[in-house]
Amino acid sequence: MKKIINDVSQVEQEMIQGLVKAHPQYLRRVTDSDVLARAQKKTGKVALISGGGSGHEPAHAGYVGYGMLDAAVPGAVFTSPTPDQVYAGIKDIATDKGVLMVVKNYTGDVMNFEMAADMARDEGIEVEEVVVNDDVAVDGSLYTVGRRGIAGTVFVHKIAGAKAEAGGSLQEVKAVAEKVIANVRSMSMAISPCTVPAAGKPGFEIGADEMEIGIGIHGEPGVRKDTMKNADSIVDELLEKILSDLDYKGNDVAVMINGCGATPLMELYIVNNHVSDVLKNKGINVYKTYVGEFMTSLEMEGFSITLLKLDAETKELLDAQADTPAFKQL
């Protein structure tokens, strides 16, 4: 294993410290916890909290800031944060408007966030939850009952965060988050694996001439391994699965081409080139496109495609201002 680290046991702690030192205008570390919250707590609005295992950076701490999250809770690499950590985050950011938890659909994440919510409710904090399950590749996986939550989660952060920033009630913010979840679909592929530092070896194997279609963000198995194909052919397969799951025809969509951690931007733009053409040919209007690394898997090489069907409300909220370490829309 070659990694630019110091001590395997200190990877998460040194990353958290580095995040706060890099972005003190955005982030502070909540006392006696690993929670990263807004540098200045904002009151009088619904507070949003998300999180999950480390290794998906910039998710989720990179989205803490104006117009998106109020706090992020990182666990160990690819490991759910504990209920106590999530509870510390909820307590820190809670306002009289309540707290919305945005949780990716992994069994550990859902269980631990829900336990934390119960602890917070016992103290009189109003907490609601939405669970993101945008991955169309498989229904049920190593860490999941039902579909996995992947890069579409970032659209939930953005749109629900904008609704909260605009003064929406807890039920209104939850409703728009659920609208995004109902209208967002994603699918991934990879051509090389990633190595969890504590494991010291790749989590799976892909041959030199192979790719894995439908892989999860922790390297969970996908639909199948296949021989390597060109970019357009890969896009066609992923889009076919996404478009067969939800009718986008005649609608405006937001597109996210997300790199898994080691994919050159050049290749992501090649992917987007064909995605844009396919959607146009199918009568789907691309309203806005995001290309880059939004939810990674350490140094995995690959990408995901996310499509979000938009309406007037979600367009306005998608366009709203956001200012966070990893997402700036001014």
The 3-state DSSP composition of the chain as helix, strand, coil percent (nearest 5) reads 35, 25, 40
Q: Tell me how far apart the alpha carbons of residues 107 and 116 are, in angstroms, rounded to a whole number.
A: 14
User: Is 274 an active-site residue?
Assistant: no
Q: Tell me how far apart the alpha carbons of residues 79 and 88 are, in angstroms, rounded to a whole number.
A: 17
129's enclosing H/E stretch is strand 127-132
Sign of CA dihedral 115, 63, 330, 254: negative
Name the active-site residue from 23, 56, 60, 157: 56
Q: Tell me how far apart the alpha carbons of residues 294 and 152 are, in angstroms, rounded to a whole number.
A: 9
Name the active-site residue from 23, 60, 218, 274: 218
List, in sequence order, the alpha helices (H) in the chain.
11-22, 83-93, 107-122, 153-165, 170-182, 231-245, 265-281, 312-319
Give the count of beta carbons closer than 10 Å to the beta carbon of residue 111: 13
Q: Which two tokens stand for residue 125?
A: 């904090």
User: Is 23 an active-site residue?
Assistant: no
CA contacts within 13 A on the Cβ side of 265: 5
Known catalytic residues? 56, 218
